[in-house]
């Protein structure tokens, strides 16, 4: 196996709490992978090289740490074919890193055990362990990397909208503004509301009961709801907004009316965690 599809993710809910002693924020988030994917190829090489995406830093850092942990030289050539919009809140960089870690680790004479690989992934970012899980919905707690599988419905179509002319703030800046407005107040109550709402999700439209993103909002959320989305929100630290639609036809109609608002994609949720080869090519 030398190639994997690296899926994007949605935060179907993102409840954010206070700053932790480790400098990260306490969160409770519902993570869902979707079938908008990058292609990641890893092959043996004389040294570490990343091709196809000049802006990458996380894949290089992840494989450097993997090599150090395994006691080998970082000798892989990685090619990334980007389809996931960069810096949109969809986790594309984290997903690329997870795919590269999985492929590079499998190429080692003595691969790291799964638990050790997940621990290494967590040092790369809170979303990276989720992508190692492969796609099924997960509840992320702690800094987001403590994961619990969820049984959620997946009979919906996703519309993604990257606002026209959007300039992504750094994630650190988004969290800093959250702290400045004392956004963590009431975290325990909001987290309890999220967990209670999850207990009541029996069909796709019940996802509408999940609380909104604590970090950011967008007028595109209301636009998506007016066009028929039963659930709409911003994913991650934004700026991409998403809407969940009951049918592909309804999603397509919404996209036709949102073209002037920004770049649009249609996607489907990945309902099950992947096996080691389920997303391989």
Question: Helices then strands (H, E): number in the chain?
Answer: 8, 10
Q: Which residues are catalytic?
A: 9, 127
| Residue whose tokens read 């892989």 | 76
Question: What are the DSSP calls for 36-62, one per residue?
Answer: EEEEEEEEE-SS-EEES-TT--HHHHH
Strand 76-81 to 49-51 pairing? parallel
Characterize 2-28 residue by residue with b for buried, 16 or more Cβ atoms within 10 angstroms of its Cβ, and e for exposed: ebbbbbbbbbbbbbbbeeeeeeebbbb
The sign of the dihedral angle between the CA atoms of 126, 128, 132, 138 is positive
């Amino acid at each position: 196996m030398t190639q994997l599809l690296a899926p994007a993710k949605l935060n179907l809910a993102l409840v954010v709490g206070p700053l932790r002693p480790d400098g990260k924020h306490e969160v409770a988030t519902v993570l869902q992978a979707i079938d908008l994917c990058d292609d990641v190829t890893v092959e043996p090489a004389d040294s570490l090289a990343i091709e196809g995406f000049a802006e990458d830093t996380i894949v290089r850092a992840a494989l450097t740490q993997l090599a150090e942990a395994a006691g080998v030289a970082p000798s892989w050539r990685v090619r990334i074919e980007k389809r996931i919009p960069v810096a949109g809140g969809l986790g594309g960089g984290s997903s690329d890193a997870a795919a590269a870690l999985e492929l590079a680790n499998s190429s080692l004479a003595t691969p790291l055990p799964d638990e050790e690989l997940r621990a290494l992934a967590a040092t790369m970012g809170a979303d990276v362990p989720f992508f190692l899980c492969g796609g099924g919905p997960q509840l992320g707690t702690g800094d987001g990397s403590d994961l619990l599988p969820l049984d959620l419905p997946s009979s919906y179509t996703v519309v993604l909208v990257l606002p026209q002319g959007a300039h992504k703030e750094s994630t650190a800046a988004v969290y800093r503004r959250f702290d400045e407005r004392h956004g963590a107040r009431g975290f325990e109550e909001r987290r309890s509301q999220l967990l209670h709402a999850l207990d009541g999700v029996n069909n796709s439209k019940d996802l509408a009961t999940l609380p909104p993103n604590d970090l950011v909002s967008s007028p595109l959320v209301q636009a998506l709801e007016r066009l028929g989305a039963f659930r709409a929100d911003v994913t991650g630290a934004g700026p991409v907004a998403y809407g969940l639609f009951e049918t592909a036809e309804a999603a397509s109609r919404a996209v036709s009316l949102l073209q002037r608002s920004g770049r649009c994609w249609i996607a489907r949720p990945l309902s099950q965690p992947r096996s080691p080869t389920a997303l391989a090519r």
